[in-house]
């Protein structure tokens, strides 16, 4: 048995674990990293990267078929599904070196390609190695949740982990789950030539502001996606190429392929957490505000911590615990400034409170300002005028922003900055945005907050009148 002593042991080489490893080793810590599967984790291999690459293929096909409005003849826009998947693999391959074992060993990280499990409160076994660490980080991420639907175990189905191996385009893709993953893949596949039906037990994109979500849902329906809301998949029948979903209201929906996209579950089953005295919750590892577990020497970050399941959250968590582990400084993880984006077309982005949440929190003192894309000159020039922004403002400070439209995922960063730094709307309004850009949407939203104060205020008009009359 090989015994290793290390300052920091990280279990999981996804985005969070890699961020901790890179930061800690470059600041002088002895770091050991365990990964029993693929370096880069879900985001690189099965999640963010491949999904956005396939979305790009769908956008390219859609653009060819809808170019006449730019004075360019519409083309067939025929998609080669297998070639699109090779494009996906090419994108993964181009990014892989950044997350590779070779790169991290070059930084000085000890990389062990084995799964780890606790054998005591202070020891983790990985293959034939037993590691004792001053601090351990659980960064094991999450996997697709596959619910126990009767008959599902008897038919072939895809998840976000297996979808990328598929090379034959689905004739009719059935998607169970109308959240971000389901809706992104629905639009990508319908643009690549598949028929698509989404089955959602509640409302599609139900965690987002319903006014904004409706814009995305309507666009997908206009493109041909059938979205069945308010019904669940109660039984699965059929065989490869002929799948049947029987819904709660006993309807039969038939297709050629099935994608399960109903959520995620944290990867903790292999860790033997009981041996380390680490408590769990229904959603993941139980942590305090500083991301420490019930074992004070062990932290949990990213999806494993059971909160918001986004790659950028895992990276943010890495920074929080590095401050604590390396410098013994107090550090707490917050969520109010964390943005999220659904990469449909148009995109849907949110940071802070939605309008409903803000009204519940702040009541009648809340102000909601809006600006529509169809008043933005760059959006008009590019024929991307579908969408709008809503900013929730309390006592002159934004407490949330919701955006649906072209490049919403890019626009939301400014509001994440504002919330993180408790900025005022006056500071946003003072920004000079280059013309013509989509970014002016943010500037104009801030302007919409001040417009009634300036242009509809009789006191302001009186002062201006006096100045013009008496000041030479």
Pairing mode, strands 123-126 and 129-138: antiparallel
Residues 362, 393 contacting (CB under 8 angstroms)? no
Would you give the DSSP letter of residue 316? H
User: How many residues can be counted in the chain?
Assistant: 472
161 is in an annotated binding site: no
Rg (CA), the chain: 25
All residues at 6 or more sequence positions from 250 whose CB lies less than 8 Å from its CB, including other chains:
none
What does the DSSP 8-state code read for residue 89?
A: H
Backbone torsions φ then ψ of 263, nearest 5 degrees: 140, -170
263 is in an annotated binding site: yes
The answer to whether 343 and 410 are in contact (CB under 8 A) is: no
Question: What span, in angstroms and rounded, lies between the C-alpha atoms of 56 and 34?
Answer: 33
β-pairing, 264-266 vs 142-144, is: antiparallel
183 is in an annotated binding site: yes
Residue owning tokens 């009634």: 452
Contact at 8 Å (CB) between 408 and 376? no
132 labeled part of a ligand binding site: no
Residue in the block written with tokens 């550090």: 331
- To the question of whether residue 330 is assigned a binding role by annotation, the answer is no
116 labeled binding residue: yes
- 179 is annotated as contributing to ligand binding: yes
182 is in an annotated binding site: yes
Annotated ligand binding at 200? The verdict is: yes
Distance in angstroms (rounded) separating the CA atoms of residues 31 and 22 = 9
CB-CB neighbours of 193 under 10 Å: 17
141 known ligand binder: yes
Q: How far apart are CA 2 and CA 360, in angstroms?
A: 57
* Ramachandran sector of residue 341 (left: φ over 0; alpha: ψ -120 to 50; beta: rest): beta
Question: Tokens in use for 199?
Answer: 């089955």
Q: Is 347:408 a contact under the CB 8 Å cutoff?
A: yes
Sequence-distant (6+) residues with CB within 8 A of 70 are 383
Q: Is 252 annotated as a binding residue?
A: no
Angle of CA points 228, 188, 161, to nearest 5°: 90
Q: Is 177 known as a binding-site position?
A: yes
Summarize the annotated binding site as residue ranges: 52, 116, 140-142, 177-184, 200, 263, 303
Summarize the annotated binding site for NAD(+) as residue ranges: 177-184, 200, 263
Summarize the annotated binding site for FAD as residue ranges: 52, 116, 140-142, 303
């Amino acid at each position: 048995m090989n015994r290793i002593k290390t300052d920091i042991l990280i279990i999981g080489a996804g985005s969070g674990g890699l961020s901790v490893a890179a930061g800690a080793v470059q600041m002088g810590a002895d770091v050991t990293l365990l990964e029993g599967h693929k370096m880069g984790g879900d985001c690189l291999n099965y999640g963010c990267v491949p999904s956005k690459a396939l979305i790009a293929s769908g956008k390219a096909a859609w653009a060819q078929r809808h170019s006449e409005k730019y004075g360019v003849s519409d083309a067939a826009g025929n998609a080669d599904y297998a070639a699109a998947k090779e494009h996906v693999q090419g994108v993964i391959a181009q990014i892989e070196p950044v997350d590779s074992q070779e790169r991290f060993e070059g930084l000085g990280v000890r990389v062990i390609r084995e799964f780890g499990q606790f054998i005591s409160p202070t020891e983790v076994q990985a293959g034939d190695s037993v590691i004792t660490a001053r601090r351990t980080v659980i960064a094991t991420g999450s996997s697709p949740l596959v619910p126990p639907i009767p008959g599902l175990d008897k038919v072939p189905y895809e998840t976000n982990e297996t979808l990328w191996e598929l090379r034959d385009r689905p004739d009719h893709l059935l998607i169970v789950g109308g959240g971000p993953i389901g809706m992104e893949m629905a639009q990508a596949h319908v643009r690549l030539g598949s028929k698509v039906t989404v089955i959602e037990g509640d409302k599609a994109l139900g965690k987002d502001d319903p006014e904004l979500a409706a814009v995305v849902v309507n666009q997908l329906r206009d493109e041909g996606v059938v979205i069945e809301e308010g019904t669940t998949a109660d039984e699965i029948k059929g065989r490869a190429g002929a799948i049947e979903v029987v819904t709660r209201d006993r309807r039969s929906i038939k297709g050629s392929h099935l994608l399960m996209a109903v959520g995620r579950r944290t990867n903790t089953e292999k860790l033997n957490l009981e041996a380390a005295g680490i408590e769990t919750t229904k959603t993941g590892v139980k942590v305090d505000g500083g991301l420490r577990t019930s074992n004070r020497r062990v932290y949990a970050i990213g999806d494993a911590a059971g909160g918001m399941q986004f790659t950028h959250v895992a990276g943010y968590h890495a920074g929080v615990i590095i401050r604590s582990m390396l410098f013994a400084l107090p550090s707490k993880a917050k969520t109010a400034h964390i943005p999220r984006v659904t990469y449909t077309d148009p995109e849907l982005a949110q940071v802070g409170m939605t309008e409903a949440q803000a009204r519940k929190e702040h009541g009648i003192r809340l102000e909601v300002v809006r600006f529509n894309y169809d008043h933005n000159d760059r959006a008009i020039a590019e024929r991307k005028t579908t969408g709008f922004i809503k900013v929730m403002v309390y006592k002159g400070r934004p407490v949330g922003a919701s955006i649906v439209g072209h490049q919403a995922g890019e626009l939301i960063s400014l509001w994440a900055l504002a919330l993180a730094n408790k900025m005022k709307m006056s500071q946003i309004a003072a920004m000079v945005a280059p013309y013509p850009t989509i970014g002016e949407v943010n500037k104009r939203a801030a302007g919409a907050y001040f417009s009634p104060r300036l242009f509809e205020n009789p006191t302001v008009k009186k002062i201006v009148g006096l100045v013009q009359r008496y000041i030479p």
